[in-house]
Amino acid sequence: MTTVAFYDTKPYDRQFMVAAATDVIHWVFHDFRLTAETAATARGADAVCVFVNDRLDRACLEQLAGCGIHHVALRCAGFNNVDLVAAGRLGFLVTRVPAYSPHAVAEHTVALVLTLNRRIHRAYNRVREQNFSLSGLVGFDLHGKTCGIVGTGRIGRVAAEIFRGFGMRVVAYDPFPMADWAAAHGIEYRSFDEVLSVSDILTLHLPLTPATHHLLNADTVSRLKPGAMVVNTSRGKLIDTKAVIEALKRGHLGGLAIDVYEEEEGIFFEDLSGEVLQDDELSRLLTFPNVLVTAHQAFLTREALSEIARVTVENLSLVGRGEPFLAGTRVEEAG
């Protein structure tokens, strides 16, 4: 039996993980996040299981190593929250779930675009108050418009194909283009600059790395087509929030739909409805009628949760028995 300290636990995590691991894993579920301050709670476990807002910096990893733990199992695809250099030096095996459901994230991306464009978020509230006026709810046809996809990995490709289904022109930028796929779906690879300047909707589907931090900043945002809508379901720090707030105020940016936020750690996944929000930039974003924020829920489908649980449990039990982890799930320094 492998003992796993599980952090940032939500009811759906518990439900899907327990169902996937009947008698092979002893779970120790913690509601709080894993950080250097909480790492001592892992003592006695064989491995830790973490999510996007747990913070596995050097100090945290040193504490885990001191507790005799050598396996970090991420139950997500992104791994920007783990100091991989420190993890490598301390001899950690870091695994993740590289692809649980690209459809879940791509479909949420499209849901954000449709909601924001057709003002469904505003219409929903209006009609519930018996306000049946249509003023201020004018959207635009997706058909014939241009969608720019930055990052044509698993999720970006699914999103691109769905947008093609609306009759949109789809242009894409990726340092590793997939020419055959693009040709098969009528998608055009262009330079990053061109994608910025021609897109009516620009959507980000790339990992957060030092090179992609603030990919959208004051300079790149100013090169977007005036009135463009920006969508981010990847990682919050891809966008410089201050720069997009300025562009929204000027009217240069036509809309912003985000499922991730630069400083979401400690805010997203929590019910703060009775509290005073301390984050001034998020508070400002929430005041714009043309900004839509969801709290990192793009992955949240039954299919994705089942697959996350299956791969995570299999890796934890394989490694616990001293057997090789699943191919393709190891995260290494080179990323």
108 classed as catalytic: no
Amino acid at 219: D
Residues between 93 and 132 with contacts to ligand NAI, criterion CB under 6 A: 99, 102, 105
Q: Which of residues 282-321 bind ligand NAI (CB under 6 A)?
A: 296, 298-299
Q: Look up 235 and say whether it is catalytic.
A: yes
Asked whether 208 and 180 are in contact (CB, 8 A), the reply is no
Cα three-residue angle 77-78-82, rounded to 5 degrees:
125
| Residue number with CB closer to ligand NAI (175 or 322) | 175
- Is 17 a binder of ligand NAI (CB under 6 A)? no
Binding mask 195-234 for ligand NAI (x = CB under 6 A): ----------xxx----x--------------------xx
Residue nearer to ligand NAI on the CB measure, 102 or 255: 102
Q: Which two tokens stand for residue 147?
A: 């969608």
Q: SS3 of 89, please?
A: helix
Rounded Cα gap, residues 332 and 335, in angstroms: 5
**Residue in 30, 33, 154, 235 annotated catalytic:** 235
Determine the Cα–Cα distance for residues 335 and 333; give it in Å rounded to an integer. 5
- Tell the residue number behind the tokens 């000027």, with chain if given: 250
Please pick, from the candidates 182, 260, 305, 331, the single residue that binds ligand NAI as defined by CB under 6 A.
Answer: 260
Half-sphere exposure of 278 toward its Cβ, with a 13 Å CA cutoff?
5
Q: Which of residues 131-170 bind ligand NAI (CB under 6 A)?
A: 150-156
**Residue 71 near residue 46, CB atoms below 8 Å:** yes
Kindly state the tokens that stand for 133. Answer: 């006026």
- Selected range binding ligand NAI among 23-31, 131-139, 171-179, 326-334, rule: CB under 6 A: 171-179
Question: Which is catalytic among the residues 75, 154, 264, 307?
Answer: 264
Please state, as a whole number, how many other Cβ atoms lie within 10 Å of the Cβ of residue 85.
11
Which residue from 107, 112, 70 is spatially nearest to 90, judged by alpha carbons? 70
Q: Which is nearer to ligand NAI, 42 or 74 (CB)?
A: 74
What is the set of active-site residues? 235, 264, 296
**Given the rule CB under 6 A, which residues bind ligand NAI?**
77-78, 99, 102, 105, 150-156, 173-176, 205-207, 212, 233-235, 259-260, 296, 298-299
